[in-house]
Amino acid sequence: MRNRRIHRICVICDRFGTGGRNRLSGFLRYAAKNPEWSLSVHALGTPNSEENLRALLAAQQPDHLAVLSCDEPTANIIFDRQRTGQVHGQTMAIDLNPAFDAKVRRALDVRLDSAAIARESMKLLTRCGYANFAYVGYRPELSLSEERREAVMRLAQADGFPFFATDDADDIGRLADWLKDLPKPCGVVTYYDIRSRDVLDACRLAHIDVPQQIGIIGSDDDPGICEATSPTLTSVLPDFENGTYLAAAAFDRIIRGRRPRKTPKKMSYGVKSISERESSIDFSGGGLLVSTARKYIQQHAASRAVTLQEVADHCRVSRRLLEVRFRQILNRTVHDEIEASRLDSVCTMLCETKLTIGDIVRKTGFSSLSYLCALFRRKFGCTMRDYRAKHRP
């Protein structure tokens, strides 16, 4: 049996955020099916990252590079290794900052389709009834943010809607003043979820109601951010994982080719899904009903068992209508919402009180200790005692 040629590939990635994790997952998923690849993974943002990358490249001497994330020091290291011939094979890069274009020579260049993000964002905000639109960017020098601003602007202006934009979101006070001057109601598209959080904080400072006056939609759909706010944040999830998987397959074909590419092959990827949450609820189409129900659940489910019928009675609607609106707007059931609220209360009591687990079960209205234990482990992947030990100061 003829020995296979093994290609040693150094993967440079970011483990933080939805984009970083999903890009790495997509690349690893393709590599798992390829017996001719041997990977070494370097994560950015770790202590001594630059020194560790130099040491890894010197020790491993990889044939090829897969750059799934890049900062300026990393770009300089790659440029130096390519220039001196220490990395002599092919390089692929995903969403590379154009400032690094001259430093990172690559055979495959993969980009997120900003127009697709803008289309999905505008489609949802338009459906929710907004007739004025704005964009809050990240940094003016970041080309991907600028591309998205241009895409949103073109779509708004094509339909005759007023459009406004700012990159000045670091100062919440100035951002609040800018939001006050926008015509209302206004749909705001942000570069990513952290910017959505900034807009939400600025709206609170300016006494602007979300989503009645300002609707917010971000990008990356990071649940650690989007579901940890009130109201929760709507977000578009780019197809990071599948886009990187397809890019890895294309990179594999390039590696197997005999001639090195002089100009990079270009690919793009678009949107996987969109998670509609409270920051863009259509208040003319059942959103007010859902918001009222959620507020009642949050106020009462922490201390006792709340039923679907009780919530429906409070909202003065049928159980059926309430369930339909929850599925339409939040894509989950009323029972899911009640259970999530009660689990939040359990987590708070575990972290902030000395109550025994038995007392917590009784105070939160769960039917039995065994049921709560099974539910908690399924949700958080650990026992309540482990959770308390990890999170309690």
pLDDT in tens, 261-293: 567 889 999 999 999 888 987 766 676 788 788
Give the up-direction half-sphere exposure of residue 344: CA atoms within 13 A in the CB hemisphere. 14
Alpha helices (runs of H) in the chain, residue ranges in sequence order: 17-31, 49-60, 72-83, 114-127, 143-158, 172-180, 193-205, 223-226, 240-256, 287-300, 308-315, 319-330, 334-352, 357-364, 369-380, 384-391
373 or 332, higher pLDDT: 373
* pLDDT given at position 22: 94
What tokens does 180 get? Answer: 């006050």
Are residues 229 and 200 in contact, defined by beta-carbon separation less than 8 angstroms?
A: yes
The 10 Å CB-count burial string (b at 16+, else e) for 100-124 is beebbbbbbbbbbbbbbbbbbbbeb
* pLDDT given at position 329: 72
Which is it for the CA torsion 317, 323, 324, 326, positive or negative? positive
* pLDDT given at position 101: 84
pLDDT for residue 258 is more than 60: no
Model confidence band, residue 377 (pLDDT cutoffs 50, 70, 90):
confident
* pLDDT given at position 1: 40
What tokens does 370 get? Answer: 């065994």
Cα–Cα distance for residue pair 54/324, rounded to 1 Å: 56
Closest CA to 44 of 23, 64, 30: 23
Coil, strand, or helix at residue 392? coil
The share of the chain scoring above pLDDT 70, in percent, equals 95
The share of the chain scoring above pLDDT 90, in percent, equals 45
* pLDDT given at position 260: 53
User: What is each CA distance from 227 to 197, 349, 353, in whole angstroms?
Assistant: 11, 19, 24
Cα–Cα distance for residue pair 223/192, rounded to 1 Å: 12
CA angle 271, 219, 26 (to 5 degrees): 50
Question: What's the helix, strand, coil split of the chain in %, to 5?
Answer: 50, 15, 35
pLDDT for residue 242 is more than 80: yes
Closest CA to 14 of 56, 43, 54: 43
pLDDT for residue 235 is more than 90: yes
Looking at residues 372-391, what average pLDDT do you find?
A: 85
Question: Which domains does the chain carry?
Answer: 7-112+240-270 (3.40.50.2300), 114-238+275-280 (3.40.50.2300), 287-391 (1.10.10.60)
* pLDDT given at position 262: 63
Give, as one character, the DSSP assignment of residue 355. Answer: -
pLDDT for residue 127 is more than 90: no
Are residues 346 and 376 in contact, defined by beta-carbon separation less than 8 angstroms?
A: yes
pLDDT in tens, 167-220: 877 789 999 999 999 998 899 999 999 999 999 999 999 999 999 899 999 999
pLDDT in tens, 143-169: 788 889 999 999 999 888 899 999 877
At a CB cut-off of 8 Å and minimum separation 6, what does 298 contact?
A: 341
Q: Give me the chain's average pLDDT, please.
A: 88
280 or 365, higher pLDDT: 280
Closest CA to 249 of 233, 223, 267, 272: 267
pLDDT for residue 330 is more than 50: yes
Closest CA to 372 of 389, 354, 384, 387: 384
Are residues 362 and 301 in contact, defined by beta-carbon separation less than 8 angstroms?
A: no
pLDDT in tens, 24-81: 999 999 999 999 999 999 999 888 888 999 998 888 889 999 999 998 899 999 998 8
